[in-house]
């Protein structure tokens, strides 16, 4: 690719990057309303899947979706650039020949009796590398559910096996939007298994739980943000194409306060690479595994996307000219495992500070923290989450 085309593609992605980043942090705040719960999801997977549906939305349904996805940030560029932006983003993120494995699985499953426009199906394939698949929800409900689950399991290396639980779809289901994501990457500087040991994790002032705490002393990029009394550590994966960003507030600071203050603009300023300094640091990071499952309907309702789920109000005439097509379920499931070698399926890490006799910064993630996996070239937030409790 020549430099001019490359810069043009990145410029198309700029407004989309802000839209997706804003959407990611909005989701984090809603999904994380219960501060005692762990949170883990892929905002990029959710936004790209919803953006496919947005292509076929009209009228109020479209404007509500645009607002919920923060795509109004791209409004000056027109909807066409939104989908071109996603095309560029997904092509870059899903490229082959990397030292990590990253697979996004987005697909729409529609009832076969719905007359779906060829132009819509073509656009899904062109911009999102996603097929629109027709199933017999009416006559073969259970087989349709199992078919979707099998497809997702295959796309996620069997880490996500039961995306749709029994009863999730029924004979009246017109359209199901499914997204799942799989990531596996090794740390640029792996942790030594022999250094891992049991340590207490401070869930709250009055509660501690044991974790297997990994240990590494090395040079990493790090900074401290006074505004939120939080340390930020950057852990790169092999080849430095992806980073894990960990935000660990000081022990007397509630993580919920940090979450409330985060905006896309502030997050960008706090995590700027030129702001971070490479320092020798002692890192303690818990080894853990999370599997989170979300019914996104309520979340999207809270973001103002209401008409899409209402049979008498949804306008998806750009998907099917027949009236009555609406979204019944938007489900997201994500799996993450963090260990000494790296991260599987999505990421998490942690840190803290203390002084030693050599004044080496000490980053101990023994209390709740936020984590993000970021794609370096596009600055896209692929995954984000909160580790509150083992």
| Same-domain pairing of 223 and 237 | yes
- DSSP-assigned letter for residue 244: E
Q: Could you tell me the mean pLDDT of each successive run of 10 residues in the chain, 390 residues long?
A: 45 75 94 90 88 91 94 64 88 82 78 83 86 87 92 84 83 76 86 91 92 93 93 91 93 91 92 86 90 88 92 86 75 84 43 28 91 89 92
| Same-domain pairing of 154 and 302 | yes
DSSP 48-81: HHHHHHHTT--HHHHHHHHHHTTGGGGGGGHHHH
| Same-domain pairing of 174 and 282 | no
- DSSP-assigned letter for residue 193: G
Cβ atoms of 236 and 361 closer than 8 Å: no
| Same-domain pairing of 145 and 162 | yes
| Same-domain pairing of 259 and 132 | no
What is the SS3 assignment for 297? Answer: helix
Distance CA 308, CA 62 (A): 8
Residue 276 has, within 13 A of its CA and on its CB side, a CA count of: 21
| Same-domain pairing of 155 and 274 | no
* pLDDT for the residue numbered 75: 56
| Same-domain pairing of 106 and 202 | no
The neighbour count for residue 250, using CB atoms within 10 Å, is 13
| Same-domain pairing of 266 and 313 | no
* pLDDT for the residue numbered 79: 58
* pLDDT for the residue numbered 226: 92
* pLDDT for the residue numbered 13: 53
| Same-domain pairing of 96 and 202 | no
* pLDDT for the residue numbered 334: 83
Q: Which two tokens stand for residue 291?
A: 């599997």
| Same-domain pairing of 260 and 369 | yes
pTM of the predicted structure, to 2 decimals? 0.87
Angle 188-95-285 (CA atoms, 0-180°, nearest 5)?
30
Distance CA 62, CA 295 (A): 21
Structural domain count, the chain:
2
* pLDDT for the residue numbered 60: 96
Q: Which domain holds residue 121?
A: 3-185+290-336
């Amino acid at each position: 690719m020549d430099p001019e085309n490359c810069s043009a593609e990145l410029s198309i992605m700029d407004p989309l990057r802000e839209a997706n980043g804003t959407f990611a942090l909005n989701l984090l705040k809603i999904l994380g309303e219960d501060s005692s719960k762990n949170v883990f999801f892929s905002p990029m997977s959710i936004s790209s899947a919803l953006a496919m549906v947005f292509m076929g939305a009209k009228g109020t349904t479209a404007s509500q979706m645009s607002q919920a996805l923060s795509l109004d940030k791209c409004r000056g560029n027109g909807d066409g650039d939104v989908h071109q932006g996603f095309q560029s983003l997904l092509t870059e993120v899903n490229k082959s020949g990397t030292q990590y494995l990253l697979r996004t699985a987005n697909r729409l499953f529609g009832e076969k009796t719905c007359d779906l426009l060829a132009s819509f199906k073509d656009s899904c394939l062109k911009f999102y590398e996603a097929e629109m698949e027709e199933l017999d929800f009416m006559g073969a409900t259970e087989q349709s559910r199992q078919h979707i689950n099998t497809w997702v399991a295959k796309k996620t290396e069997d880490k996500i096996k039961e995306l749709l639980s029994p009863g999730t779809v029924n004979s009246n289901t017109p359209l199901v939007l499914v997204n799942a994501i799989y990531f596996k990457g090794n740390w640029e500087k792996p942790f030594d298994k022999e250094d891992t040991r049991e340590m207490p994790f401070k869930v709250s002032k009055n509660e501690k739980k044991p974790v297997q705490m990994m240990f590494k002393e090395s040079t990493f990029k790090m900074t401290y943000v006074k505004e939120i009394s939080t340390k930020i550590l950057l852990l790169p994966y092999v080849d430095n194409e992806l980073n894990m960003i960990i935000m660990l507030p000081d022990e007397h600071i509630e993580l919920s306060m940090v979450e409330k203050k985060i905006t896309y603009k502030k997050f960008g300023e706090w995590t700027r690479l030129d702001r971070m300094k490479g320092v020798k640091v002692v890192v303690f990071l818990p080894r853990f595994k999370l599997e989170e499952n979300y019914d996104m309907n309520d979340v999207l309702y809270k973001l103002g996307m209401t008409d899409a789920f209402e049979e008498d109000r949804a306008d998806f005439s750009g998907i099917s000219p027949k009236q009555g097509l609406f979204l019944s379920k938007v489900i997201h499931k994500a799996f993450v495992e963090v260990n000494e070698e790296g991260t599987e399926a999505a990421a998490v890490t942690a840190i803290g500070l203390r002084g030693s006799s050599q004044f080496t910064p000490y980053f101990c993630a023994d209390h709740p923290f936020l984590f993000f996996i970021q794609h370096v070239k596009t600055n896209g937030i692929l995954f984000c989450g909160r580790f509150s409790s083992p």
